[in-house]
Amino acid sequence: MKDIANSELLDDALAGLTAPQKHLSPKWFYDRRGSELFEQITQLPEYYPTRTEASILRANADTLVDTVPDGGALVELGSGASVKTRTLLDAGHHFASYVPIDISEDFLLATAKDLRARYPRLAIHPVVGDFTAPIDLPHSMDGIAKVGFFPGSTIGNLEPVDAISLLARARDWNGVCGFILGADLVKPIPALIAAYDDTQGVTAEFNLNILRRLNAEVHANFDIDGFTHQARWCENPARIEMHLVSRKAQSVRLDSQVITFAEGETIHTESCRKYTPDSLSDMAGKAGWQVETMLTDDREQFAVAVLRP
């Protein structure tokens, strides 16, 4: 398994780092160290999305739980430790099943065990899967009413066409009757930049960790100090982009290739889209969904949209 993952990382890095605009996929951020750094990011004073979404989920837990019919299932994409789901379940749930989908099998199964102990009336059906690809839901879920749950504004990492495909695939699930989508909202640029370039440098470490990972896992020799973290605001579509900027002209070995960098040349590592209620409705509409309710916080920093077919 490790070898397959390594060869996928290597193929992806070779393709991305030989493109005119060098790029790496944000999915490679999340090794053990990267996941810990992301956890630290969610606690930073500048990083408002996690705590704001949590407050929206807490304030509207009853409404959100009620979107799932009795006997139905909540299906979460990229469930991790199911922290946000617990906020909903703790409000009291009447639906029958929870289907957490995550790429990390060990983590998924450990979480499922924990949830079974804590919510004994809920049937837990974990699925190992990557939400950027089509997902096969368990056959035991055929004919059961389903509501998708995709919090965290993770949708914003996807290219607009890929975000629409993901929502359209969920729209085709057998028995689907709703989708709960978390999305970060456009706001003044300084607040957005601060959220992705914190004063403690945790986000910089998180971004640079992708180079450490290439060094450790696919025999690259990046000089980590030779790159700096950058967060930029870009329009059309509205987004923050994270880049790693080469501080000097340099060459780096990656497996059998040599990758050259000009001074100031960047590797684009992540895009984080920021939505308006209109752009969010528009994206949902293109995937065959309608916004039933747009829940937000009092400062309108973040949105949790309830979508219906």
Which of 203, 209, 230, 301 is in the footprint of ligand AVJ by CB under 6 A? 203
By CB under 6 A, residue 148 contacts ligand AVJ: no
Residue 47: CB atoms within 10 A of its CB come to 19
Query: Which one, of 26, 17, 18, lies nearest residue 242 by Cα?
Result: 26
Which of 60, 67, 82, 154 is in the footprint of ligand AVJ by CB under 6 A? 154
Rounded (10°) CA dihedral 114, 302, 58, 124: -30
Contact (Cβ atoms closer than 8 angstroms) between residue 166 and residue 132: yes
Q: Residue 52 phi/psi, 5° resolution?
A: -70, -45
Residue nearest to ligand AVJ (CB): 272
What distance in Å separates the CA atoms of residue 132 and residue 287, rounded to the nearest whole number?
Answer: 15
Q: What is the nearest approach in angstroms of ligand AVJ to the Cβ of residue 151?
A: 9
Q: What is the nearest approach in angstroms of ligand AVJ to the Cβ of residue 157?
A: 5
Which listed range, 3-11, 134-142, 151-159, 295-303, lies at the site for ligand AVJ (CB under 6 A)? 151-159
Residue whose CB is less far from ligand AVJ, 45 or 138: 45
By CB under 6 A, residue 272 contacts ligand AVJ: yes
Burial class (CB in 10 A: 0-12, 13-18, 19+), 62: exposed
Contact (Cβ atoms closer than 8 angstroms) between residue 123 and residue 100: no
Residue whose CB is less far from ligand AVJ, 49 or 178: 49
Which of 67, 79, 87, 157 is in the footprint of ligand AVJ by CB under 6 A? 157
Which of 156, 170, 210, 230 is in the footprint of ligand AVJ by CB under 6 A? 156
By CB under 6 A, residue 53 contacts ligand AVJ: no
What distance in Å separates the CA atoms of residue 112 and residue 118, rounded to the nearest whole number?
Answer: 10
> Which residues bind to ligand AVJ, rule: CB under 6 A?
41, 49, 152-154, 156-157, 196, 203, 270, 272
